[in-house]
Structure 1
C-alpha cells in the first residue's frame, strides 16, 4: 500500500497541541497485517500521531507499520497505554520496557495510565511513570478515562508533567466537565471513539453542516473536535476512511456550524465498563 492508494495531504496542515499532533490514528481492535498496513498508510498519507495500548495486543504490528513506512521514527508521535492489570510500580516499569521492545523503539512519546482501576495505585503507579520519564524512556505522561477528581490527584502526585487525558469525546458526549478540569491544569484532551462508533453520521444537525460544506459527517465531527481544541484519534484500517479522516484538516467550520452541533440534545456513551470511575 503506497501513496497511490490514498490522497496525501501535507502533514504540516495538522495543528499540534504541546507538541502532539491533533489528529492521529487509533488502533483499537486492529491487528496483524491490517494494523501494520493501516499505520504505514496513515503515515504515508500525512499522519504523525499513532495511538496503541498494551491491551490492544497489537504493539508489534504498530511498530512494524512505523518501521515499514518512509517516515522517520523521530517524526512520529507514538503513544501507548499501560493496562489496568499492570499498574503496580514494578509492573509499570517492566511492562513498559516490554512495550518498547514490541514497538521496536527506544522511547515512547506518550505513555498513558489506561484506566484508574484494578491495580491502579496513585502513588505507586505515578511514581513509576515519573521514573520512566526521568530515565528518558518516555517523553510525556498521560492518563486515560480520568474524571476530574482522579485528574486532580494525579497532578498532585506525579512528579512529571501530565500532557493529556484521553477520554471518549464526540458531539454526543462533549465532556465539558473533563475539558474544564484539563484546561485548569494545561492538560490536553485526546478523544477516543471521536465518531461515536459511527452514530454521529445519523445526526440531522451534523448532516446539515456536512451538506452545507459538501463534506462527510465524519469530517464535520473531527473538525468540531479540532475547533474545541481536542485531539482526535479515529480508528480505521481502511485506506478510504483513513484518507477521509485526514481530509477533515481542510475543513474550517463557521461559528454557526459549531453552535448548531453544540445544540444537539442527544447524548450517547459508547464505552461504559462497570469499573469506569464514573460508574
Structure 2
C-alpha cells in the first residue's frame, strides 16, 4: 500500500502469460503526496469517461483524467512493489519530486474535493449522476458529502448515520444513492426536495462522534485496563443500577476477543433514519 493508484489494461491479457499484463499501464498520484510514506488510498472509482477518483486517508479526494498519469514507471527510481517486487521505501522523495514537472505551474493538477473526514475507517468514493456529474463520499462525522465533479463545489451534506459512513454507491440507471457504514442498515437516498438545501455552517467543526467504550479496545492490554476501570466503577454506590448492563457488555467484549483469538490461531496469525434529499 502506497500513494500511487495503478491503472491496468486488461486488453494485454494473454492465456500463455507472454504479455506484460501484470504491469501497470499508468500511475496516478497528486504531486504533493509523491514520496509521502504515510499516504494511503482507501477508495477508487473509474467513470465511463475514463476519469479516476482516488480517496486518501487523512487527506482529500482527487480526480484524475487520462492525461494526468505519471507514466510507466512514473520515474526511473520507482518500481512497483506489486509488479516488480521492490519496496517503495527505497525511493528517494527528493528525486521523485524533481523528476516530474506535473502540477508545478498549476496545469494538469488533479481536482480536489474537500470537507469530509477520512481518518477512522476505510472510506470509499464514487461518481454519481447519469453522466457522472457528481462525486460522493461518506465521512467520519456520519454524513454524506456530494460535490460537483467540475470545479469541486460542495453542494450537499446529508445527515446519514450516528457514526461513520464508509460507502456510497449510486444506482447504475436512476438518481438513487445507497449508503452504509458501521450501523446495521443500508439507506437509500433519492432527490425529491422542492427547494434547494443549504449547507451546514459547522462542517469544519464537526468531529467524529464518540463510540461505545467497546470500540476503543484494540488489544488485550486495552481489555485489561478496561476491566480494572469497570471494577472501580462497580464499587461506587451510584453505579449499582448500571452493573447488569456493564456485565452484558463485558461478556460480549470477552466473546469477541475469544473469537478473534480462535481465528488467529486457525489461520496463523466491525440507526437513525433521516428523511432527507439530494437537493
TM-score tier, shorter chain, comes to under 0.3
Q: Which has the larger radius of gyration?
A: 2
User: TM-score, structure 1 length as denominator?
Assistant: 0.23
Which protein has greater RCO, CA pairs closer than 8 Å, 6+ apart? 1
Q: Which has the higher strand share?
A: 2
User: TM-score, structure 2 length as denominator?
Assistant: 0.23
Q: Which has the higher helix share?
A: 1
